[in-house]
Structure 1
Amino acid sequence: MAKIGFIDYFLDEWHAEKYPEWIESATDGKMKVTYAYGKTDSTTGLSNADWCEKKRIQLLDSIEAVVEQSDYLIVLSPDNPEFHEELSALPLQSGKPTYIDKTFAPDRKTALRLFESANHHGTPMYSTSALRFATEYIETDKQGIETICSVGPGSFSNYSIHQIEPIVSLMGSEPKRVMYIGTPKSPALLIGFADGRQATIHHFGWECPFSMVLNYDSGNTKLLKPESDFFGLFIKNLITFFETGKPVVDPSETIAIATLIEYGHKAAKNPYQWLELPSETV
């Protein structure tokens, strides 16, 4: 049995709750989350010790111990990406396949540093939103997409990833500029790509399911609603990554996504003005 280690800001959160059962079920018990570390206890839920006791996962007292005793590593902290660099430092030096949960990094420079560390130490690593693997997105034709209008729930800070990731996977990793076009209650971002192509994301509250409309240069239109089991498809991809050490997400896309989120926050301070995106490496 391959042993997986969790490294989290605090362990009583939705991703840590669901991933162990999904991974064990998808591998028929050949992979299992056996170790975990949390930097702090949840302020609203179970302590790390109580969570581990409930999940029958061994709580270890350091990231180093989790890295040493695990075959594969998952750095979680899905709603606190500002801790990813700290939590990932030792995993990315280990050479062991490491998945870093969404949102990968709070800004472009951090994203670049994480990839530089992984490359320097020969550590296979990637990050993604599970929405990337929705069958509806994977199977759609990417050629000739001129415009995308995407909508979804949640706040910009931790849910924009789920709209931006599919957009970048469909339109490419070279967005040029962004403009904030939303309101305080309905954040929205216009993304400009090369050759006049563009995409918008809109947050309309928890009652608004993820969906997007694609318009092609041919004049054809598609409405995509991710109703497939995208979390199950993500878990299968994660298992393949652990087995092969080969991520399917291009680092350039992950860096572009981190850049868009960072500059989306900046653009919100001056709505309806274009903000050019950096292209140079750091």
Structure 2
Amino acid sequence: MTKKIGFIDYFLDEWHAEKYPEWIESASGGAMKVTCAYGKIDSPTGRSNAQWCADKGIQLRSSIEEVIEESDYLIVLSPDHPEFHEELSQLPLRSGKPTYVDKTFAPDRQTAIALFETAREHGTPLYSSSALRFAAEYMETERIGIETICSVGPGRYENYSIHQIEPIVSLMGSDVKRVMYIGTANSPALLIEFGNGRKATVNHFGWECPFTLTLNYESGQAKIVKPESNYFGSFISQMLQFFESGEPIVEPAETVAIITIIEYGLKAAETPYQWVELPS
């Protein structure tokens, strides 16, 4: 029997909602399918929720409760509006049904902790991640002995830093101590210090700049890693495994560390070249 997945979004006419249904159905061989969806508002610039659903062959529902009732698994989207994740996730995280919350998980550390706490209290399996975490090149990279990482990539810090910080934390761990803003208005950049003095830099350039990591190990060996594999395909496969097993793919501590870095990186931008300590 096909397992039903419900979408819960700020508005449905956005890139992730557009792509995920086909990818999910294909990756699962039809065993899982997005069947219903809810959008808080209609897209300000695109199709209405009703039109989007009609075009995708997905049933539009008028409430989050209806989506939860009709679904086996839940995906909270709103990828570019994480400030709505807390509101959109309240009922899903009380449902007990495996729930994936899209990137960026939360707008701040406090919200991230609260979401995980709600899920824990109600026995709801929960996780969130950037798809970049699951690039084969990153997953196959040796983690032991990494001393420094220099990361570059495109996009604005506010909604694209997740794609650099997520892989960094997956490689270096969640023991983050402090951050320092070292960028400019056009090229935001962040220095991150981990335990034992290990450091990483996040650098944002134009859209012509592909995601790349340069790693240096304690041994002095260097390695350049470019995510050229089908990381979205791997990401979807990991999501489906999570739905089936109910076992989160990413440790909550890592997700909280990632959100903390993003939040305090924005604060650090107000006082460039000064360390900002992170809460433990």
Query: TM-score category by the smaller chain?
Result: over 0.9
Q: Name the structure 1 match of 2:175.
A: 174
Deviation of residue 24 (structure 1)? 0.2
Residues 109-137 of structure 1, C-alpha deviation per residue, up to 9 Å, x if partnerless?
Answer: 00000000000000000000000000110
In the alignment, the residues of structure 2 paired with residue 28 and residue 169 of structure 1 have an alpha-carbon distance, to the nearest angstrom, of 29
TM-score (norm 1): 0.99
Which residue of 1 is the match for residue 127 of structure 2?
126
CA distance in 1, matches of 2:99, 2:230: 23
> What is the 5 A alignment of 1:228-247?
228-247=229-248
CA distance in 1, matches of 2:12, 2:29: 24
> 2:47 & 2:249 partners in 1: Cα distance?
34
In structure 2, the residue matched to 1:224 is 225
- Are residues 1:165 and 2:166 paired? yes
Cα RMSD, aligned residues only: 0.4
Q: Residue 205 of structure 1: CA displacement? A: 1.1
Identity %: 73
CA distance in 1, matches of 2:219, 2:23: 41
Query: AA paired with 1:252?
Result: A
TM-score, normalisation: structure 2: 0.99
One-letter code of the match for 2:12?
A: L
Whether 1:97 aligns to 2:98 is yes
State the Cα deviation string for residues 152-184 of structure 1 (Å, max 9, x = none): 000000000000000000000011000000000
Equivalent residue for 2:69?
68
* Number of the residue aligned with 2:258: 257
1:134-145 equivalent positions in 2, closer than 5 A: 134-145=135-146
Q: Deviations over 1:225-255 (max 9, x none)?
A: 0000000000000000000100120000000
Q: Which residue is equivalent to 1:2? A: 3
Which amino acid letter does the alignment assign opposite residue 81 of structure 1?
Answer: P
1:58 is aligned to: 59
Q: Deviations over 1:32-66 (max 9, x none)?
A: 00000000011111010000000000000000100
CA–CA distance in structure 1, aligned partners of residues 54 and 178 of structure 2: 48
Distance 2:241 2:39 in 1: 26
In structure 1, the residue matched to 2:154 is 153
Instruction: Give the Å deviation of 1:209.
Output: 0.4
| In structure 2, distance between residues paired with 1:225 and 1:29 | 32
Q: Distance in 1 between matches of 2:26 and 2:223?
A: 34
Aligned to 1:39: 40
Q: Structure 1 runs of 4+ off > 3 angstroms?
A: none
Residues 51-97 of structure 1: CA deviation (Å, up to 9, x unaligned): 00000000000001001110000000000000000000000000000
Partner of 1:193: 194
Q: Classify the secondary structure of the residue corresponding to 1:170.
A: helix
Cα deviation, residue 28, structure 1: 1.1
Compute the displacement of 1:195 (Å).
1.3
SS in 1 for 2:150: strand
User: Which residue pairs with 2:19 in the alignment?
Assistant: 18
1:263 positional shift: 0.2
SS at match of 2:19: helix
Structure 2: any 5+ residue segments left out of the alignment? none
| Separation in 2, partners of 1:42, 1:209 | 29
Matched, 1:28 2:32: no
Separation (CA, whole Å) in 2 of partners of 1:196 and 1:127: 27
Unaligned runs of 5+ in 1: none
In 2: Cα distance, 1:213 partner to 1:145 partner: 11
Aligned residue type for 1:212: L
**Mapping for residues 107-122 of structure 1, pairs under 5 Å:** 107-122=108-123
CA distance in 2, matches of 1:258, 1:68: 30
Secondary structure, counterpart of 1:176 in structure 2? strand
How far off its partner does 1:196 sit?
A: 1.2
Which residue in 2 is equivalent to 1:79? 80
The DSSP-based 3-state class of the residue aligned with 2:192 is strand
Number of positions where the alignment pairs a residue of Structure 1 with one of Structure 2? 279
